[in-house]
Structure 1
Amino acid sequence: MKIKKVETIVAEELVQVTRGNLVESIHKGHIAVVDFKGKLIKYAGDPYRTVYARSSMKPLQAIPVVETGVADYYHFDNADLSLCCASHSAEKQHTERVLSILKRAELYDDALKCGTHPLRREDVFKDLILQGKEVTPLYNNCSGKHSGMLATAKYMNEPTETYHELSHPVQQRILRVISEMAEYPIEEIKLGVDGCGVPVHGLPLERIAYAYAKMTRPKELSETRGQAVERITSAMMAAPEMVGGTDRFCTNFMKVANGKMFGKAGAEAVYCIGDLQTGVGIAIKIEDGFGRATEPAAVEVLKQLNLLSNKELEQLKHHHRPQVTNARNEKVGELIPTFTLKEA
């Protein structure tokens, strides 16, 4: 039997996890920093590592919601569009808005094909139990994205039952948008199935960073695409509480950045950022998929690129160097970024 040779990916140490005075664990990974013209300017590890960006693709997946006319027809405000890009915490502010979007499209939450998962917030789960309610797809962290996809299918007079399948026009439009924004051949995009059941797209990390960089310069795009991108990124920054939720990094980071940057986490330890001031896009992948390392890595990248002030870094310090605590909530260690970005 032939054994297929797997290419070795050289990952770089990005974050150490300490306990006492011992380095207990190390998270390795890859970083790509790309400008809006497509030039790789800084990196760590292998910036060309092909990865699934997972939920970090949501701002791109939301572009057809605007371009098709759906957002205007159903009167989407900033919070609605921001929710289409969300991996939310299933707080009332999120679930009630998902229901609102579906209602405007004359749909119900049983149309959601995102499935269920354990809830992030214990208080939300307890509240459901006390009310005698079940965890339904409405509480899935991706239900905002799915509501936008459903509304698009309804508006375009396409089947709503199969909107999550790769062959559906909703998913084909998204695939084309990702190919165009990343300037990467559509036939070379690796396709899989995301945790919420829709297609997931695999591209080189550097191309993902480039797509984010292009979103920072909407006037460099076609008029229709530029208007859609500007509307989506502005919505994320105007309503960051929809993208994540209470004390979530996406939300806290965009609040601190205050209109300068937008960012989105992805499962299996991905984080992507677009900086409107410099026009750079940043894509981070932690090799072992452990999401606890993405926040310190992301803030450290911004620090090394001088994109955050000392005051802003101080406001994000609990994300930059998160504490390791024990069962009594006592600090016993911390996560420490250890990398230095290299010049491309």
Structure 2
Amino acid sequence: MNYTKPIQVYRGEFVESTHDVHVAVVHANGDLIAYYGNPFRQTFARSSMKPFQVISVVESGAIEKYQIEDRELSLFCASHSAEPYHREAVSNILKKIQLEVDHLQCGTHVPMDFESYKQLIREGRELTPLYSNCSGKHSGMLTACVMQGFDVESYREVSHPYQQQIIDNIANITGYARDKIKTSVDGCGVPVHRLPLYYTALGFARLAAPEHWEQGSEQRKDSLRRVRDAMTTHPEMVAGTKRYDTDLMTAFKGRIVSKSGAEGVHCYGDRETGIGVIVKVEDGQGRASSVASMEVLQQLQIGNPTIWEQLKDYHHAPVLNARDEAIGKVVPNFKLKRL
């Protein structure tokens, strides 16, 4: 076993497993600031792309017409835990656009909030799409479709006009050529987009600090600010209780905008420095993504020891057994290469 890997998993005092990671750190002006591994690795950033997928909702005028609250806009960007307030918010959005739960085509799964799942079992109720961690995103897509008069039955298809708008917006915000963006199908059934890490990090830099994006239109920069502010003002809607995105944005009090993705992806942007970061764990293990993400944060000296202490369990993540005892830890073991 190679014990020099960038993420090490200890059981007691012994390394039991390791993970490779790739990191890109990019300024909103396009400069690659630092990296680890391959900063141009082609990657599906999965749910980390949600803040860009929601831009057309904002620019369509739907926020104003349907009186979408900032916490609901934040939910459009979410991979939520399906806590009661998440489900209630999705239901409220559907009422505003006069659609039903059955219009959500995200499928369903056991919610991350286990208390909600236990209550469902006790009451003898079935899972619905409201419990999907992507129901917020899908309600946002439906909101944009209703606003623009698009078909709401085929909104998942890559050929659908709203999905084409999303590709346009991703290309614009990240600077990656539209014809080079490849798509496949995400876990919730909608298109997912494949880009080099560098460009996704650049997109997060522009989301966090659009004022540094000289070529961006004022409308687009205003849209990015609106999404950023909704996410950072209502971080509980983006993820949930004891979730990394929520806790990271809460600790930084609006400075950091953060969004995780499946298969070991985590992205964030820093308003103060104008940089964006993406972490990709090579084997897709999510347990390593927050560890790598926090290590990058500290190597870049973003924040201070007080904030880092609040987030320490994401940086040196405890490994727990069935008795909820800490019997190991997941720790970083790498240094960024600065440019």
Contact 2:54 2:76 in 1 (8 A): yes
Q: Where in structure 2 are the equivalents of 1:243-254 lying within 5 Å? A: 243-254=238-249
Aligned to 1:23: 15
- TM superposition score normalised by structure 2: 0.97
1-structure distance, mates of 2:70, 2:7: 35
Aligned to 1:120: 112
Equivalent position to 1:327, from 322, 325, 330: 322
2-structure distance, mates of 1:317, 1:216: 23
1-structure distance, mates of 2:209, 2:242: 29
Aligned to 1:8: none
2:33 is aligned with what amino acid? I
Aligned to 1:106: 98
1-structure distance, mates of 2:6, 2:266: 13
Equivalent position to 1:158, from 134, 146, 150: 150
Aligned to 2:50: 58
1:191 equivalenced with 2:183 (yes/no)? yes
2:37 is aligned with what amino acid? G
Offset at residue 121 of structure 1 (A): 2.2
2:24 is aligned with what amino acid? A
Deviations 1:302-343 (A, max 9, x none): 000000200000000111111112122221110111110001
2:269 is aligned with what amino acid? G
Q: Where in structure 2 are the equivalents of 1:141-220 lying within 5 Å? A: 141-219=133-211, 220=213
2:88 is aligned with what amino acid? E
Gaps of 5+ in 1: 1-11
Contact 2:26 2:201 in 1 (8 A): yes
2:308 is aligned with what amino acid? L
Aligned to 1:133: 125
Aligned to 1:239: 234
1-structure distance, mates of 2:325, 2:188: 35
SS at match of 1:31: strand
Aligned to 2:311: 316
Equivalent position to 1:304, from 294, 299, 302: 299
Percent identical residues: 47
1-structure distance, mates of 2:201, 2:223: 19
1-structure distance, mates of 2:229, 2:240: 17
2:183 is aligned with what amino acid? L
Q: Which runs of 4+ in 1 moved over 3 A?
A: none
2-structure distance, mates of 1:107, 1:151: 9
Deviations 1:181-214 (A, max 9, x none): 1111111111100000000000000010001111
Aligned to 1:6: none
Equivalent position to 2:87, from 95, 99, 105: 95
Contact 2:47 2:260 in 1 (8 A): yes
Offset at residue 85 of structure 1 (A): 0.4
1-structure distance, mates of 2:6, 2:180: 29
Equivalent position to 1:294, from 289, 296, 306: 289
2:190 is aligned with what amino acid? V
1:222 equivalenced with 2:217 (yes/no)? yes
Contact 2:316 2:329 in 1 (8 A): yes
- TM superposition score normalised by structure 1: 0.95
2-structure distance, mates of 1:22, 1:13: 14
2-structure distance, mates of 1:14, 1:170: 39
1:276 equivalenced with 2:268 (yes/no)? no
Offset at residue 20 of structure 1 (A): 1.2
Give the length in aligned residue pairs. 333
Offset at residue 218 of structure 1 (A): 2.4
1-structure distance, mates of 2:77, 2:308: 25
Aligned to 1:77: 69
SS at match of 2:124: coil
Contact 2:21 2:292 in 1 (8 A): no
Deviations 1:268-298 (A, max 9, x none): 0100000000000001100000000011111
Offset at residue 232 of structure 1 (A): 0.4
SS at match of 1:38: coil
Offset at residue 13 of structure 1 (A): 2.9
Gaps of 5+ in 2: none
2:296 is aligned with what amino acid? V
Offset at residue 157 of structure 1 (A): 0.8
